Chains A and B, each alone.
Chain A
Amino acid sequence: MSAGSSRTGRSLLLLAPLLLFLVGFFVWPLISMMSQAVSDPAVLRLLPRSAEVLADWDRASPPTMPMQAALMEDLKAVDDDQALGDMVRRLNSARSGFRTLMAKTTSALDDTVSPPADLVSIDQRWERPEFWLAIADALSPYTDRNLLAAVDLGRNAAGSIEHLPADQSVNRVILVRTFWIAALVTFACACIGFPYAIIAASLTGWKRDLMLGAVLLPLWTSLLVRTAAWFILLQEQGLINDLLRWLRIIDAPLPLIFNRTGVIIAMTHVLLPFMVLPIYSVLITIPKNLMPAAASLGAPPWRAFLRVLLPLSLRGVASGSLLVFISAIGYYITPALIGGPGDQMISSIIAFYATGSANWGMAGALGVVLLVATLLLYSVYARLSADEPGRR
């Protein structure tokens, strides 16, 4: 028994470094991304005193003197202009008018010669509960605003969830586009990959090696190189347009790059191996004599295919399709280089929010949407491939 427990101890010791590494640099980053999506510290950070006083407010009556005094104290203590800007932006998005109100208030508070007695004397709007309500709501360190906005939902003044107006509804378009492009690529891969795998599995010797090698070579080649290759092939003066013009099929060059056609072609090329290999690995486990047996029983080839080969290989097609779809929805490089502005997928939008506009909340919220979609599909895929009889 002691030998067994020392072996367990040794195994744990061997596993610990990678486990700690991945918890620290894989799980934790994902958690901090998710917490970016729901955290909302811009207002609470600057208004700690107001937060204490506002907790006792009934959310309907006009502001009391202690509330005004606390807010004045907080605003006077602010010395970080950028943090102030963040807070005003946050409040203004909850209730328009805050930008001018805050500008007026802070400049009045800077007046040390004749300091204002209270906030209402600076601006009448401070008497209205709506503005205080907006502050009170923004004081919570957590928000579902970004997550709702990621799917084009928002809260109205009463706090219930509703659709955002059409001019703010951009994310749903991008989500639908992402899934649509991924579905088209999956379909194209299945249409090419399934017959290709059937042919490869039916061959032997060098012919089979050639067909498999043709799949493995692109898989091994750098994604950037493949994308660069398609960039060169698809451009206006590229080989494809030259060839078509030389063959007199077209007169003017076809627009193949910076549009949807180019993205689908390049992504199909990149992801085709992920379709062919799972289907192939299922097909080679199917006994070779089944199709001749069906034929000897009088089934025409199409019928033998529909009733014998297709049902037996369906699991390969399903896991190949899931693999392609999962990879496709997270794609960034190929749409960014080959696509136009109308072909950018969710990853590009996340990258834009994160690096372009430093809106970590929205980047995190869209990241959560993509992560959840990916993990859900992956769990289906894992179950599908765990059921493989050959694996057990």
Chain B
Amino acid sequence: MSHDGIHPEPTSFWRKHVFSVDHKVIAKQFLWFGLVWLLIGGMMAMMIRWQLANPGEPFPVLGALLFPSTGGVIQPDTYNVLFTMHGTIMIFLGLTPVLIGCFGNYCIPMLIGARDMIVPLLNMLSFWTLMLGGAVGFYSLLVPLGASEAGWTGYPTLSTTVGAPGSGETLWALAVFLIGASSIMGGINYITTIVRLRAPGMTWSRLPLTIWGMFFTAILNVLFLPVIGSAMILLVLDRAFGTQFYVPATMIDGGGGDPILYQHLFWIFGHPEVYILILPAWGFISDFLSFFARKPAFGYRVTVGAMLAVTVLSAVVYGHHMFTTGLSPMLGESFMLLTMIISVPGEILFFNWLHTIWRGSLRLTTPMLFSLGTVFVFGLGGLTGLYLATISTDIFLHDTYFVVGHFHLTMAASSLFGAFAAIYFWMPKMFGRMLDERLGKLHFWATFIPLTIVFCVMFWSGYAGMPRRYYDHTYLEYLRDLQHLNVLTSAAAFLLGAAQLIFAFNFIRSRWWGAKAPTNPWEVGTLDMAVPSPVPYYNFETIPTVVTGPHEFSNPAIPDGKDWIFQTEPLADRAAAPTDPSAQPAASH
């Protein structure tokens, strides 16, 4: 049988598993890559929390291996490296590959009814560029004079040779550049694939919301990763080639540059980056809440519109990261207003999620628990954003642990929960094995409870005035009586770290020895659920023709008494119940 529009199946090991152009193999590569880096970045977080709770005590077991010269004690410069690389790794090498690299690659062709990405070769190049970026990033940890220690934001002049003489910082900038290039390649591929390769009948309003989230993320990737790329290239030029884009005239050997230029460039990228990470998670949970509440996604078009609004507005709120930098009052007030406006589409998404599960029939599976968890942590993180969007409260809270708590909940915890939900949901289709549900639920609760404690106590620390990026909060007298908050945070953080071992165990065990997955384990109607698990090389025997939306759960027009229907199956009486959700009357309450 010929499968049009697909490259022939490779036979050699290297072509099949390593230098593959198959989107499903690349998705798995991204997944493994991301999970390994999440483990490394998470371990760094453990070391950070250890140092903060027990300043100057040797880190147990691993410490002696990693820092033999100090007997396992984390030194201030090492500590700075740890939080710098924790941020860089988690964002660029952990979450981005898992959320966007893995699930973008897996979901886009599978859910729109295509046999592969539109340019499979570019897809492979995207992964190997990321691999190169990861290698450079890892190598930067090993060079003499030390790794990058200017924070993941890498503000000059601390990140220029004025503050960081070692080559680690240069390699860090190059790594971020390479990772950015990888994301741009992926983004172009995703956008083009979604526009060009949708199966017949897969109209824009029949796309699963996952695809919408991925589509907007890809647009932001293509628009804003070039900005961080240029900022990094200027930094590399400053560091290695004697230019002075970021070095002001007042300094010894100073030029005519301005360190604030970097902050603008960084945050023009940096704020959209938050949405780059959260939009895929929003897409997943918008679908999963509907799938497991057995109810259509409430207000499909409004949800898509809200995501679009966030995408557009994300470019014009970045100034709220710079309220204490010395922005003019007029700019400050403008950015404050714009930041508050971007909360409106966020609120609308919440209404729609809460409305979707209202009067549903909730199946509290692991992906559903993680989706509900996302709503909880994003709610907490989003609401506390109000303190930071408001300049007069941000002045006190800026660069304290309040900010750390806030962005971890919104950008880290929410997108991580979204990623976990997606892993539990698509694992059966990707690997043909089910993840263990009992361990999955244990993993959820063992993650959710300590995570909430960790970041809520961080809010408390920030509220009390504890600055972030301090090696030791007991050094200055003013902060010494806040140490109990650090101890509490660390205790919860260790439990949070330990809980991930449950996932690691479950993932490894299920990958090879788990129960064989049925074709449609979750009883939903998206296109990927109609093909065998694991998905065959060519994806679809014949390209399907789509006639129904993805969320027709509990529709009375579904034949055979089921509460779901494949997107390729027509509803019983199409005249009475049109399939386009936007045209659906609000009958049958």
A and B are interacting partners:
no
